[in-house]
Amino acid sequence: MSDDPPPAAAQGANNPVAGVCWMIVTGLLLVGVTAMVKILGTRIPAVEAAFLRFLLGLIFAVPMLLRAGEFRFSRGTWGLFGLRGLAHMTAVVLWFYAMARIPIADVTAMNYMSPIYVTIGAALFLGERLAARRILAVAAGLVGALIILRPGFREVGPGHLAMVFTAMIFGASYIIVKLLSERCSPAVVVAMLSISVTIFLAPLAALNWVTPTWTELGILLVVAGLATAGHYAMTRAFQAAPLAVTQPVTFLQLVWAVSLGAFVFGEPLDPWVIVGGLVIVSAVSFISWREAMLKRRALTPASAATKL
């Protein structure tokens, strides 16, 4: 899943119904990604599964790069491509690891924390001012994460810890995207992500290679296709309506993830995960709303924008 940054034009978009509809489609497609990874299981190591996902994703990424026609970059830009590839590679491997070991609802809810980390990172590295209201919203997001994890009240396993770091690293990846978006077109940013992550993962995947079956390859190809379609739908949502409108709709993704986990995979329903997810989405939505009210280019991404 790539991190295509929302176009600046989205700030002036004025079709909220279309934006909400496109974001609903985005959520369904991205829940489909998690479902397929859950079906894939743990036979294929997480590093190899991530490598194959991005290798197959080149089917969609390379034509984007060729159409963009941008091939000459400064040394600093190449460095940002490499840094983002390393960060995203790490986050994706952790995501695959967590997805195979903890409930879909937990993965979905905890991934909502990425925009909170982006807000913190923007203040630390991009000079974004953190007003008191935004600090309170960030604190609320962190409380939401604690509600989901409930350390001391339930076992916090390696899958949950993996998701904590996944959300942080995805957030760091998105901040690098914000820097790259000032130098390159979105198509180039997306395509170079797939290429760099594939290159970085190749030697790691080879160390513990398990030959995939045709069925497993088919599942990973579907994952790549659903992720690409999901981010296309998300881009259309950004074009139709501002983040302040589309951001709250992302909570539906948690509803669908809970339903999928309960009715398809037999995972227990944990109401605290829903409560924590709602707290986090509310905090992220408030930050997006404040950015819209201040009429500045949003630094806080939609929850879906920081995922696989």
Q: What confidence tens digit (pLDDT) does each residue in 36-79 have?
A: 988 988 899 989 988 998 888 888 777 877 776 766 778 888 89
Residue 275 has pLDDT above 80, yes or no: yes
User: Higher-confidence residue: 5 or 177?
Assistant: 177
Q: Is the distance from CB of 105 to CB of 267 less than 8 angstroms?
A: yes
Q: Return the structure tokens found at 154.
A: 């339930």
pLDDT band (50, 70, 90) for residue 5 = very low
Q: Return the structure tokens found at 258.
A: 């809970």
Question: pLDDT at position 31, please?
Answer: 87
Is residue 72 left, alpha or beta, with left meaning phi > 0 and alpha meaning psi from -120 to 50? beta
Q: Which of 291, 271, 277 is nearest to 248 (CA)?
A: 277
Three-class DSSP category at 68 = helix
What is the spatial distance between Cα 244 and Cα 230, in angstroms, rounded to a whole number?
19
- Give 184-234 pLDDT, tens digit per residue: 777 777 788 888 999 999 999 999 899 999 999 999 999 888 887 887 787
Alpha helix segments (H runs only) across 69-131: 75-99, 104-111, 114-125
What is the spatial distance between Cα 117 and Cα 110, in angstroms, rounded to a whole number?
12
Q: What is the radius of gyration, based on Cα positions, of the chain?
A: 18
Q: What is the pTM of this model?
A: 0.76
How confident is the model over 272-286, as a mean pLDDT?
A: 86
pLDDT band (50, 70, 90) for residue 305 = low
* Weakest mean pLDDT among 90-104, 171-185, 287-301: 287-301
What is the spatial distance between Cα 249 and Cα 23, in angstroms, rounded to a whole number?
7
The chain-wide mean pLDDT, for the chain, equals: 80
Percent of the chain with pLDDT over 70: 86
